[in-house]
Structure 1
Amino acid sequence: MRMKRWLTFSLVLLLSLSLAVGCSKAPNDTPAPESSKGNQTDKEGTKLEPVTLKIMIPGDRPPDMDEVIAEAEQRMKDTINVKLDIVFVPWADLGQKTQVTLASGENIDLIFDAPWLHINQMIADGFYEPLDDLLAQYGKAVLEKRPQQMWDANKYNGKIMAVPLGVVYMSGNSYVVRKDIREKLGIPPIKTYEDLINFAYKVKEKEPGIAPFTAGGTSGLQQSSIVAQRSLNDYDTHVRYTHALGSSLTLYYKNNDGKVYNLFEDPEPVLSWLKDARQLYNDGIVYKDILTAKDFLQPFMSGKAAIVTKGSFGTGLTFDQQFKNNVPNGDLETVTFFDKTKGANMTNFKQWNFLAVPKVSKNKERAVMFMNWANEKENYDLLSYGIQGKHWEPVGDSEVKLLDTKGYWGFGYVWVWNPIDERSDVDRDKRNDEYEAVLRDADSFTKDVLTGFEFDSSAVQNDLSQYNTVEAKYYPAMFNGVLDPEETLKKFEAEAGPSLKRIQEELQKQIDAFMANK
């Protein structure tokens, strides 16, 4: 599934999906230890020697992170005896930084990865440790806190190669809109995509100091682009990303037919969306610096834009407070075109964020012990929300009251997320609860015919590298309307077409074999 992308996805960012998924159990074929808290001694029964785990995750380091780490280390001192070295990587630099780190052999004990990043490639290249045995021995809580469907759909060649981080079977999506500007202009609540675009043109006409529309413009954030967001509400053909290119629609699925489509050969409906984005850019609707803004949310958060793409249904208190700090008189609302009708949405139950143990780690067992520790309720709360009484306070077992989102903001989705312990923001916009309920109900979805399929990219690694190099030149600009799509597609195909075709053919061959064996 696509993940919120603050993701990127909007960031997914970034994401603040808040309702918890129902009960789960550990995989039937994976035995677990009797107590996840009994991992504090070695085989001889002596106390574990202290180790420092180096963990690489995306985002920005909160001001109070050291205080949270100190509390975590104090709690772990007499059990798994771990210290934490957390390395934060800006979202826009994430793909390159993590790939270079892994390729260099630098010692990392836990690292964030995702299908929209390069997890398939990293697995194919042998950078990650299989986790089945380690989780069976040290990861009882990790296994139990994720439902069976999640484990079944997120293995690679039948093995657990990374721990899925998610709470739903599909990510929400919306546009965050300046409600104060909409009301100032006398525009009624936005109900359709056409309403949204009409609002953008009104902003262009009446509010010259504000960009009507902004989105993710860099390669690392292309799933938050104008066209990518448009595709998320395609209920006519169900255009979706492929296993080979997890964040690019130059190859895509549609109609749930098990076929791989190539944008250079089968351009519709994507080309129509590209043309619409180009028109928006030519008309001055799109933020002019969209390709150079490392943080695509910044123009909106500082009051310089009226619409921004979002990888969830609501904004969340942290988002709202950060915006209010910059624009005290501003007001926000989210607009979604999500269809909550049963069966309208499709899923393969895949998660879009993962935490992996690199092969180079010298502390694999302790890394899994830490993940297990982090998936115990009290510790999950600490890492997700900060110091109780300072940054947050509990409201029952499943809700949270956020107290200080400047000192510590939630980013559990990049290293601890599980569907059992995640709390709902008590101050959330509860109008989105009905949408969130759909996302966490497996029975509300139409099952993707490719559920359980995994792509082995080893045969086309060179083609993937060649294609990705060319894609960075054209894709983000084209998918935000900065470049003319028809002219750009010709140049794009001339440079990347042969590589893309070979990737398509290899992917289709593997899909055909998978379908034949179902």
Structure 2
Amino acid sequence: MKRTVKRTCSILLSTVFLCIIILTGCSNTGQNSGNAPVTEDGKLDTSKKVELQFYMLGDAPKDLAVIEAEINKMAQEDLNTTVKFNFTTWTDWDQKYKLLLSSGQSIDLIFTAEWTQYQSYAKAGAFLALDELLPVAAPELHKFVPEDMWNAVKIDDSIYTIPATYKEYVNNGFVYREDLRKKYDLPKPVDLETFEAYMDGIKKNEPGMMPVSLNSDVIGNLHDRYTEISSFAGPTKYGVGVKYDNPKEPFIFWGSEEHKAELEMLKRWADKGFIPKNVLNIKDTLQSQITSGKSAAIFGDNPTRFNDAVIKIKASQPDWELAYTPFAEKTGYSTPVHPIHNGFAVPKNSKNAERALAFYEKLVTDKRYNLFTQYGIEGKNYEVDANGYYKLIGDAQSNGFPREGMNGWAWRNPEFMLFDEGYDGVKAIFAELDKVQKPDIFTGFAEDYTSYQAEKAALEQVEKQYLYPLLAGLVTNIDEGIDTFLAKAKQAGLEKVQTEYTKQWNAYVEEQGIQ
């Protein structure tokens, strides 16, 4: 009974959060989106001192207070502003994010991406439109971001986030301990079959090590990786699949033969001991598990994060060796990151929208701000060698601010970026991916769940209760597990959600001229 009550309350809370965002968004549309306060000479008025609330996802670096103090010295002088940097931690970040945007709390800058549902939140009115504010409050930033990128992040013809301008690929690839692969003469992971054979070898020869890094996000770390390497579907939100080469014909993935094949593979992995029985309770990041030696591989990570792991391992375990195989070697194509992927928005409840944009302009375009917040203090956290390469001082445990320690992917400035020598390998990966690049047709889609927000919230809870255990390989009878999951999903309103979502997708494809 308690479990039922807890689940019901969770559904209701989720629905309430969404309703609050929608309702307050509608009533506050346009708030602070008019002309910014300016002085007689046309400059932004900074006569009133303010403190900005800045929210980033993930875990705060140990030296955050030191960096914050340095930044505030400059911001106080330049903008009569101080900033409080807040981090959600990676534990239940999605619920925390939702709460931040629905609670009415005053927040001035918050990270956005397609994986934080930027498009849906923007449609729901969670963020301020920036079109009129940017030219006055952040004119240099407005010029710095190319016009095509501003256009790419627009939702309903308005700008709600500031995109990153660094071109990169965040498509996944296998990350694995190359030293162990060589030692035990294991196959190079290039597809699902060879990756499983690699894990078999690790399990046999290194019984005290997990073959693969996993945590409670089984959707992101197992399902999404499976669909990407299988190359048969794009996003499968609400069980609706879209094939890259046939985007005009979305299909129902949940309950299909492809879905069953995925679950059978994951059940086999669980039976072999690749997936820990307590995986749904693990909160460690995938990267920390491999850099600490707990795990021997990651089932899909992007080239940049792979390189970050290489840096940490080189500093603490120079005898270890990491290797990387892009999924594109199997799928035959890759997509450059969409401008929506990394950005910062001004939430609708910000009391200091203009100053927030002025400060963010400093983060992106002022080298002092950028280097401090991306790399820490030179001589303490990092050094630059004679060839211009970044070098971490100490190791991942002793260093209080590793490279991009604030998860500042969104305010990367290609003109200021520092790379370690190993990043030459990432650039080489990017060069190969350039040869097979195709446009990202998925990220520009902006879902509007206003008409099915209650069903959406209920469906999320059904997924966690019935789909997650299937993905974790914890359900003995897969056919019965799928039937139970689909029955509960239908009770939650699955058909309504799928119908409306598919209709919106088809309209998007038609509007964008996607073939």
Structure 1 length as normaliser, TM-score? 0.80
> What amino acid does structure 2 have at the position aligned with 1:281?
A
Which whole-Å CA distance do the structure 1 matches of 2:223 and 2:408 have between them? 25
Alpha-carbon spacing, 1:73–1:438, altered in 2? closer, same or farther (3 Å):
farther
Residue 373 (structure 1) shift: 0.9
**Of 288, 293, 311, which aligns to 1:303?**
293
Residue 126 (structure 1) shift: 2.0
Which stretch of the first structure deviates more once superposed, 111-120 or 410-419?
A: 410-419
1:475 aligned residue? 467
Residue 157 (structure 1) shift: 0.9
Higher helix content, 1 or 2: 2
Which whole-Å CA distance do the structure 1 matches of 2:469 and 2:139 have between them? 45
2:230 aligned residue? 234
2:30 aligned residue? none
SS, match of residue 503 in structure 2? helix
Residue 398 (structure 1) shift: 8.4
Residue 83 (structure 1) shift: 1.0
Alpha-carbon spacing, 1:140–1:258, altered in 2? closer, same or farther (3 Å):
farther
Residue 394 (structure 1) shift: 4.7
SS, match of residue 133 in structure 1? coil
1:281 aligned residue? 270
Residue 139 (structure 1) shift: 2.4
Which whole-Å CA distance do the structure 1 matches of 2:305 and 2:337 have between them? 26
Deviations 1:375-409 (A, max 9, x none): 11412222111123332345799863433552112
Which whole-Å CA distance do the structure 2 matches of 1:218 and 1:307 have between them? 16
2:451 aligned residue? 459
Residue 129 (structure 1) shift: 0.9
Written as runs of structure 1 = structure 2, the 5 A alignment for 1:416-495 is: 416-418=410-412, 420-421=414-415, 423-437=417-431, 445-447=437-439, 452-483=444-475, 485-495=478-488
Which whole-Å CA distance do the structure 1 matches of 2:443 and 2:304 have between them? 28
Structure 2 length as normaliser, TM-score? 0.80
Deviations 1:345-366 (A, max 9, x none): 3569353233221111111111
Residue 487 (structure 1) shift: 2.7
SS, match of residue 282 in structure 2? coil
Residue 198 (structure 1) shift: 0.9
1:313 aligns to 2:309 (yes or no): no
SS, match of residue 232 in structure 1? helix
SS, match of residue 171 in structure 2? coil
Alpha-carbon spacing, 1:322–1:438, altered in 2? closer, same or farther (3 Å):
closer
SS, match of residue 273 in structure 1? helix
Which stretch of the first structure deviates more once superposed, 177-186 or 105-114?
A: 177-186
Alpha-carbon spacing, 1:360–1:400, altered in 2? closer, same or farther (3 Å):
same
Q: Contact 2:153–2:340 (CA<8 Å) still a contact in 1?
A: yes
> What amino acid does structure 1 have at the position aligned with 2:83?
L
Which whole-Å CA distance do the structure 2 matches of 1:339 and 1:198 have between them? 18
Which whole-Å CA distance do the structure 1 matches of 2:509 and 2:44 have between them? 50
1:408 aligned residue? 401
> What amino acid does structure 1 have at the position aligned with 2:362?
W
**Of 337, 340, 344, which aligns to 1:351?**
340
Deviations 1:178-221 (A, max 9, x none): 233223323354444322211211222222212222324236xx
Which whole-Å CA distance do the structure 2 matches of 1:426 and 1:478 have between them? 41
Question: Where has structure 1 moved over 6 Å in runs of 4 or more?
Answer: 38-46, 395-398
Alpha-carbon spacing, 1:289–1:168, altered in 2? closer, same or farther (3 Å):
farther
Residue 368 (structure 1) shift: 0.8
Alpha-carbon spacing, 1:156–1:414, altered in 2? closer, same or farther (3 Å):
farther
Residue 415 (structure 1) shift: 6.1
Deviations 1:96-155 (A, max 9, x none): 112112222111111223322333343333221111111122223433443444322221
> What amino acid does structure 2 have at the position aligned with 1:368?
L
Written as runs of structure 1 = structure 2, the 5 A alignment for 1:38-49 is: 48-49=47-48
1:135 aligned residue? 134
Which whole-Å CA distance do the structure 1 matches of 2:320 and 2:130 have between them? 47
Q: Contact 1:80–1:366 (CA<8 Å) still a contact in 2?
A: yes
Alpha-carbon spacing, 1:318–1:114, altered in 2? closer, same or farther (3 Å):
closer
Deviations 1:466-512 (A, max 9, x none): 11121122333333433354332212211113623222211222233
Alpha-carbon spacing, 1:155–1:47, altered in 2? closer, same or farther (3 Å):
closer
Which whole-Å CA distance do the structure 1 matches of 2:275 and 2:175 have between them? 15
Written as runs of structure 1 = structure 2, the 5 A alignment for 1:108-507 is: 108-165=107-164, 167-168=166-167, 170-187=169-186, 189-218=188-217, 222-223=219-220, 225-235=221-231, 237=232, 239-241=233-235, 245=237, 250-254=239-243, 255-264=245-254, 267-297=256-286, 298-313=288-303, 315=305, 318-320=308-310, 322-323=312-313, 330-339=320-329, 344-346=333-335, 349-378=338-367, 379-394=369-384, 400-403=390-393, 406-409=399-402, 410-411=404-405, 413-414=407-408, 416-418=410-412, 420-421=414-415, 423-437=417-431, 445-447=437-439, 452-483=444-475, 485-497=478-490, 499-507=493-501
Which whole-Å CA distance do the structure 2 matches of 1:79 and 1:473 have between them? 51
Deviations 1:252-306 (A, max 9, x none): 21133223322235x2434322221111111212234322111132443332222
Q: Give aligned-pair identity as a percent.
A: 25
Residue 427 (structure 1) shift: 2.1
The count of residues paired between Structure 1 and Structure 2 equals 468
Segments of structure 2 that go 5 or more residues without pairing to the other structure are 1-34
Aligned Cα root-mean-square deviation (Å): 3.3
Which whole-Å CA distance do the structure 2 matches of 1:454 and 1:232 have between them? 21
Q: Contact 1:42–1:48 (CA<8 Å) still a contact in 2?
A: no
**Which of structures 1 and 2 has the larger relative contact order (alpha carbons within 8 angstroms, sep 6+)?**
1
Which whole-Å CA distance do the structure 2 matches of 1:56 and 1:510 have between them? 31
Residue 43 (structure 1) shift: 6.3
Alpha-carbon spacing, 1:303–1:40, altered in 2? closer, same or farther (3 Å):
farther
Which whole-Å CA distance do the structure 2 matches of 1:493 and 1:509 have between them? 21
Alpha-carbon spacing, 1:56–1:472, altered in 2? closer, same or farther (3 Å):
same
Residue 60 (structure 1) shift: 1.5
> What amino acid does structure 1 have at the position aligned with 2:353?
K
2:13 aligned residue? none
